[in-house]
Amino acid sequence: MMNQEIEQAEKDLLHTYNRFPVVFDHGEGVHLYDTEGKEYLDFCAGIAVFALGYGVKEYNDALKDQVDKLIHTSNYFYNEPAIKAAALVKKYTGMDRVFFTNSGGESIEGALKAARKYAYTRDGHTDHEIIAMEHSFHGRTMGALSVTGNAHYREPFEPLIGNIKFAEYNNLESVEAQITDKTCAIIMETVQGEGGIYPANPEFIQGVRRLCDEKDILLILDEIQCGMGRTGTMYAYEQYGVKPDILATAKALGCGVPVGAFAMTERVALKSLTAGDHGSTYGGNPLACRAICSVYELMEEKKVLENVNRVSIYLEQKLSELVERYDFIETQRGLGLMRGLVFDCPVNGILQKTLKNGLVLINAGTNILRFVPPLVITKQDVDDMLVILTRALDEWSYEERA
C-alpha cells in the first residue's frame, strides 16, 4: 500500500527531493505515524517547524475556529488576526515594523529589497552591494539563492542578482575585507543551519554589528531556522547582545501553516519599503496569522523556552557521550535544541537505519546528523532517541562500515 503510493508520487512529482520511503499519516505529541500504523519518534519536526509537537488541542482549535470564520481577504483590507500577530512579532523580535510572507525564502527576498531600498533612499545610487557568508543557506528563490553560500546550489541558475560578495562566517577580517563604500547590508544566519549547525561566535557577530554601525550598513539576521525559541531564547540574537536592523523569521512561526515575516527597526522602515514597493496576495492572511498568534501564546503558556534550556543541556551531554563512544563521530555542536553530530563520513546510511528503527532524523550537509526536535521534548524522549540511534549506529557500523 505505502509502496504503491510512493511509486505513484515518483511518477507525478518533479524529482527535486530524494525522499525517504515513508508516507506519514498523522502525529501525536513528538511521534509520527505512517499510513501502515508504524510509530516514529520525531527529532526533525518538519525541519525545525513543528515546535509545539503534534495534536496540540489549543492550536488545532484556533485554526478550526479561523477556518469557519474567515480564511482570506487580501491586503486591500485589515483583519484582526494580522493586527494581533504583527504586535506579537514586534514584541518578540524587538523590531518595529512587520511584513508577513508565506515562507522563509520570501522573508529573505523582502529583507533584501528592504535593504536595497534603504540604501537607494539614502543616496539615489543603484549599485549597492550585499555581503553574505560562505556555507550559508537562505532559501531557493532567486534572491535568497543569490546570497546562499553554496556555489553548487547557485551555479545552474546564474546570473543571479548582482553585487553579492561572500565572506567567511566567524571571520571578522574576511567581512571587513569585503566592505566597500557601496556595501548596504550584511546578511547572515545567527546560527548556520543547512551549512552544518555553526553558531556565530559572539566576538564575530558583535564585530559585524560594530562595522555596520560605523558605516551605516544594515545587519540582516536570518533566524528562519534558529528563531522561535529553538536556541533557548525566542530569537538567538538575544544571547549575543546585538540587535539586527532587519530580521527574517519563518519555519516554526506558524508551526506548519506556511507563513513567514521580515521585520525591521523604525529607523530602517522610515527610509525603506513604502506603498507599491512590495506585496503578497496571501501574506498576512487571517488563517496564517491566527496560527502565529496561537504559536506565540502557547510558547508562553507551555513555558517552552524553559523546557528548551533544560532539555538541551541533557541532549548536549548525551551527544557528547556518543562522540566519546564512537570513533567515527568527530564532534557535536549547536545551540539549544539545534544541534549537529559530526561524522567522519556521509550519514545517509545512518539516516536510513534510524528511520527503519523508528526515529526521524535529517542531515545538515553530508556528514552531519541534525537534531531539531519539537521544542516540547522531554529528557525521556532524548533517552528514547538514544536507544534507537545507538542501535542504528551499531547496526550500521557492523554492516556497512566494515
The region of 109-117, 218-226, 298-306, 345-353 touching ligand PLP under the rule CB under 6 A is 218-226
105 binds ligand PLP (CB under 6 A): yes
CA atoms within 13 A on the CB side of 11: 6
Q: How far is the CB of 105 from ligand PLP (least distance, A)?
A: 3
For residue 131, CA distances in Å to 111, 197, 372 come to 13, 20, 28
Q: Which is nearer to ligand PLP, 257 or 377 (CB)?
A: 257
250 binds ligand PLP (CB under 6 A): yes
User: Cell triple for residue 3?
Assistant: 509502496
Q: Which residue is nearest to ligand PLP (CB)?
A: 104
3-state secondary structure of 313: helix
For residue 61, CA distances in Å to 56, 64, 290, 313 come to 9, 5, 11, 33
- Report the C-alpha gap between 7 and 243 in whole angstroms: 48
255 binds ligand PLP (CB under 6 A): no
Q: How far is CA 370 from the centre of its chain?
A: 12
Beta bridge partners of 331: 342
- Report the C-alpha gap between 55 and 99 in whole angstroms: 28
Site string for ligand PLP, 124-153 (x = CB under 6 A): -------------xxx--------------
227 binds ligand PLP (CB under 6 A): no
Q: Which of 129, 222, 316, 384 binds ligand PLP (CB under 6 A)?
A: 222
224 binds ligand PLP (CB under 6 A): yes
Q: Which of 46, 110, 143, 193 binds ligand PLP (CB under 6 A)?
A: 193
For 365: left if phi > 0, alpha if psi spans -120 to 50, otherwise beta; the answer is left
The region of 25-33, 99-107, 296-304, 390-398 touching ligand PLP under the rule CB under 6 A is 99-107
Q: Which of 46, 53, 81, 104 binds ligand PLP (CB under 6 A)?
A: 104
3-state secondary structure of 360: strand
Under the rule (CB under 6 A), what is the footprint of ligand PLP? 103-105, 108, 137-139, 189, 193, 222, 224-225, 250-251
